[in-house]
């Protein structure tokens, strides 16, 4: 069987849902498992619901646009307003409101996971029901029954043995199955999420557990490009890349593939294709074992809104392994992702991602032991397979705060 993943951009409106069905029919609907993300920018909208709920104690104003958005899509898909899809979606919103009305927890990460999962549940319910409406038989699967995780909310770790057992029990590989990306459940059956943009990872998990023939991620770009077209001019398509290269690109921040997606696929040598849902017959990018990167050109990646922290000892003593171990234990404690490290005898600099908003707590802890300086709102630029022309072009009109060069990669922390 094959695993397909469709992201929010492909499902942003009724026309998008219809196009997804056309793409699927062109590929054949049998022996497919389809993973869908929340529609459009609904995850962002649900994050606003969480914010208003915890900060203002009122969620209805932020939730109303979410309801209206999904209603508009359904009105574009179903001719009869009495169709069961409308009732199914209404029940999901009742579930969400019931949680918000009765929840007593103020833990942001916990509340976040119980709320944002409804983006995927709504999306998959609408897609599955629409497919049935168009006489395309499918099995609807709540991924929380299959993707079993620990209780690290917003960044849950997969419990692989139980997950594999549940997937094999609940998925018929001969059929078309519609399920959700990004979401799972912990041992107490509370909802969890696998990290922002984690739907790709979900596709990789199902593919691994089902020994799938391939995974295809359907995007609004032609495939994996050597640069983000929203940031860089005239990006080029990478037609073939290896698992190793794809993992490197994803780790450095290439948004087209979630960093964890490649690991389960590489273990079983399951090929990954990244293709355009706008031009489904085009070949896109193939990721396989041992593939050289073609064409061999510099690849540009940028991660915005990063934080550069520089530490030095209060008494000018050396920063040694013991100090570094203590620093990294704090990164782990406050869920800080480190993207770059540079150190000298008495200083230690890191570029970090503060996605869990724990920077202030981290800095207060570090200031007890080190002299601390930091810059927020910086950008981390990475060039894989760099040449001098690429580096010079990237550095133009930027204030460079840190630069690091290895054999294949240049990284620059700069104020844009």
- CA dist 319 and 369 (Å) reads 11
Radius of gyration of the chain (CA): 23
Per-residue pLDDT of the chain (416 residues; tens, 9 = 90+): 999 999 999 999 999 999 999 999 999 999 999 999 999 999 999 999 999 999 999 999 999 999 999 999 999 999 888 999 999 999 999 999 999 999 999 999 999 999 999 999 999 999 999 999 999 999 999 999 999 999 999 999 999 999 999 999 999 999 999 999 999 999 999 999 998 878 999 999 999 999 999 999 999 999 999 998 888 989 999 999 999 999 888 888 887 788 789 999 999 999 999 999 999 999 999 999 987 888 889 999 999 999 999 998 887 777 777 888 899 999 999 999 999 999 887 889 999 999 889 999 999 999 998 999 999 999 999 999 999 999 999 999 999 999 999 999 999 999 98
Looking at residue 391, its pLDDT comes to: 96
* SS (HEC) of 34-70: EEECCCCCHHHHHHHHHHHHHHHCCCHHHHHHHHHHH
- Angle at CA 167, nearest 5°, toward 204 and 114? 80
Looking at residue 346, its pLDDT comes to: 80
- Give every CB contact of residue 395 below 8 A, 6+ residues apart in sequence: 412, 414
Q: What is the residue whose two structure tokens read 């833990």?
A: 107
- CA dist 101 and 98 (Å) reads 5
Q: Same CATH topology for 2-212 and 299-415?
A: no
The fold for domain 2-212 equals Carbamate kinase (3.40.1160)
Query: How confident is the model over 351-401, as pLDDT tens digits?
Result: 999 988 999 999 999 999 899 999 999 999 999 999 999 999 999 999 999
Other C-beta atoms closer than 10 Å to the C-beta of 262 total 27
CATH 3.30.2130.10 fits 299-415, yes or no: yes
Sequence ranges of the domains in the chain: 2-212, 299-415
Looking at residue 404, its pLDDT comes to: 96
Task: Quote the pTM value.
Answer: 0.89
């Amino acid at each position: 069987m094959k695993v397909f993943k469709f992201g929010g951009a492909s499902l942003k409106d009724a026309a998008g849902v219809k196009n997804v069905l056309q793409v699927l029919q062109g590929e054949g609907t049998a022996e497919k498992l389809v993973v869908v993300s929340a529609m459009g920018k609904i995850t962002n909208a649900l994050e606003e619901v969480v914010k208003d709920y915890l900060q203002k104690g009122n969620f209805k104003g932020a939730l109303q646009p979410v309801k209206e958005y999904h209603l508009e899509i359904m009105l574009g898909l179903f001719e009869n307003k009495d169709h069961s899809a409308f009732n199914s979606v209404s029940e999901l919103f009742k579930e969400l409101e019931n949680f918000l009305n009765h929840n007593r927890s103020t833990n942001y990460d916990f509340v976040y996971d119980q709320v944002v999962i409804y983006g995927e549940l709504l999306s998959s319910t609408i897609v599955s029901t629409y497919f049935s409406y168009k006489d395309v038989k499918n099995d609807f699967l709540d991924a929380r029954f299959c993707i079993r995780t620990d209780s690290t909310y917003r960044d849950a770790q997969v419990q692989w043995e139980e997950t594999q057992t549940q997937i094999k029990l609940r998925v018929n590989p001969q059929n078309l199955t519609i399920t959700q990306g990004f979401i799972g459940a912990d041992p107490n059956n509370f909802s969890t999420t696998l990290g922002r943009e984690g739907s790709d990872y979900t596709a990789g998990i199902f593919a691994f557990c089902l020994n799938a023939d391939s995974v295809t991620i359907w995007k609004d770009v032609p495939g994996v490009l050597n640069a983000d077209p929203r940031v860089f001019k005239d990006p080029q398509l990478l037609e073939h890349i290896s698992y190793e290269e794809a993992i490197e690109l994803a780790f450095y921040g290439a948004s087209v593939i979630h960093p964890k997606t490649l690991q389960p696929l590489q273990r079983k040598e399951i090929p990954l294709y990244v293709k355009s849902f706008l031009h489904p017959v085009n070949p896109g990018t193939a990721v396989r074992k041992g593939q050289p990167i073609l064409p061999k050109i510099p690849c540009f990646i940028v991660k915005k809104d990063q934080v550069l922290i520089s530490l030095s000892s209060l008494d000018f003593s050396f920063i040694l392994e013991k100090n570094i171990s203590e620093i990294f234990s704090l990164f782990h404690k406050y869920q800080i992702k480190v993207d770059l490290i540079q150190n000298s005898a008495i200083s230690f600099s890191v570029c970090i991602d503060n996605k869990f908003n724990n920077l202030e707590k981290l800095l207060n802890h570090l200031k007890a032991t080190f002299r601390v300086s930091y810059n927020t709102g910086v950008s981390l630029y990475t060039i894989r397979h760099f040449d001098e022309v690429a580096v010079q072009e990237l550095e133009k009109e930027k204030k460079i705060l840190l630069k690091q060069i290895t054999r294949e990669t240049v990284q620059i922390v700069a104020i844009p």
